[in-house]
């Protein structure tokens, strides 16, 4: 109890370096265990997307038409057919599709996953036609960066006693799990909006009801993937933070313990 200090009339013991290391290791383990559940969230989506390769013909013409129907062609949006890429990328193999706002290009293998194209067109509509969607899509990348920072903040040691006044940094430290989750929300909401608009657009192309139904299923699974990222990141950061708090926050000297040790 050599280094103990007083705060607000109570005696506290700062934590040892050893405690800090233990906390750091446990916090790293806990967060990586939680993050390892991520592939499970994406699995239903990936499985269905592969199955869609054999149903592509039902969707292809409607998707290509949808660019005109939505007016996206007049706004400069183009399809970049990924089947002609000479590489083994996810996009070329029909396991992913993307919309690039800076180039107004939907990159997609239209010989395999045209069903996903409507969702990408939905991203283009968010970006080019809706104010709210545009704001959300601009927040995506900063959100990822901030969520990653929260992962780092969670690993900082907590040098102040629990009841010490909080400054801005302490508030961030205390809430880093919730903040990390919130940082993912623009992405989750924008993804949901892109799917909603994509389905609406698909209906306009005259796609048959069972095909729309199948598409809704795929899009719901895609949203589950993003919601999974948000939840797992929030929980992983929150768990790491709780563990670091437990191992590094100065301990109040318990009156009973004090009397046992000294008397
Ligand atoms: Zn998307």
Kindly report, residue by residue over 213-257, the tens digit of the pLDDT: 999 999 999 999 999 999 999 999 999 999 999 999 998 887 555
How many angstroms is it from 123 CA to the middle of ligand 1?
7
Residue 73 lies in a domain: no
Q: What is the pLDDT of residue 261?
A: 47
C-alpha radius of gyration, the chain, whole number = 25
How many angstroms is it from 196 CA to the middle of ligand 1?
11
- Rounded mean pLDDT, 138-152: 95
Overall number of domains in the chain: 1
Residue 36 lies in a domain: yes
How many angstroms is it from 175 CA to the middle of ligand 1?
28
How many angstroms is it from 183 CA to the middle of ligand 1?
17
Q: What is the pLDDT of residue 262?
A: 47
Residue 62 lies in a domain: no
Residue 110 lies in a domain: no
What is the chain's mean pLDDT, rounded? 92
How many angstroms is it from 120 CA to the middle of ligand 1?
6
Higher pLDDT, 164 or 75: 75
Residue 259 has pLDDT above 50, yes or no: no
Cα gap 66→72, rounded to integer Å: 8
How many angstroms is it from 197 CA to the middle of ligand 1?
11
How many angstroms is it from 115 CA to the middle of ligand 1?
12
Q: What is the torsional sign of CA 206, 212, 215, 219? A: positive
Residue 123 lies in a domain: no
- Rounded mean pLDDT, 27-56: 95
How many angstroms is it from 185 CA to the middle of ligand 1?
13
pTM for the whole structure: 0.88
Residue 181 lies in a domain: yes
Q: Which domain holds residue 49?
A: 5-56+131-262
How many angstroms is it from 94 CA to the middle of ligand 1?
14
Residue 154 lies in a domain: yes
Residues 6+ apart with CB under 8 A from 5: 11, 12, 14, 250
Residue 150 lies in a domain: yes
């Amino acid at each position: 109890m050599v280094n103990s200090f007083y705060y607000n009339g109570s005696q506290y013991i700062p934590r040892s370096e050893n405690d800090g290391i233990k906390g750091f290791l446990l916090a790293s383990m806990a967060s990586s265990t939680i993050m390892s559940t991520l592939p499970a969230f994406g699995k239903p989506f990936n499985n269905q997307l592969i199955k869609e390769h054999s149903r592509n013909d039902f969707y292809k013409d409607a998707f290509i038409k949808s660019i005109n129907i939505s007016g996206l062609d007049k706004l400069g949006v183009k399809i970049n057919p990924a089947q002609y890429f000479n590489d083994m990328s996810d996009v070329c193999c029909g396991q992913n599709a993307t919309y690039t706002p800076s180039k107004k290009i939907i990159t997609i293998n239209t010989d395999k996953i045209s069903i996903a194209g409507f969702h990408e067109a939905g991203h283009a509509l968010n970006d080019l036609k809706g104010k709210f969607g545009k704001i959300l899509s601009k927040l995506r990348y900063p959100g990822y960066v901030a969520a990653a920072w929260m992962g780092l903040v969670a690993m900082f040691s907590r040098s102040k006693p629990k009841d010490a006044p909080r400054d801005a940094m302490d508030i961030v430290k205390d809430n880093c799990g919730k903040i990390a989750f919130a940082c993912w929300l623009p992405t989750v909401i924008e993804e949901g909006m892109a799917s909603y608009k994509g389905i609406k657009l698909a209906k306009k192309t005259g796609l048959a009801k069972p095909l729309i139904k199948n598409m809704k299923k795929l899009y719901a699974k895609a949203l589950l993937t993003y919601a999974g990222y948000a939840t797992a990141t929030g929980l992983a950061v929150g768990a790491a933070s709780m563990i670091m708090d437990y191992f590094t926050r100065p301990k109040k000297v318990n009156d009973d313990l004090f009397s046992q040790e000294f008397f």
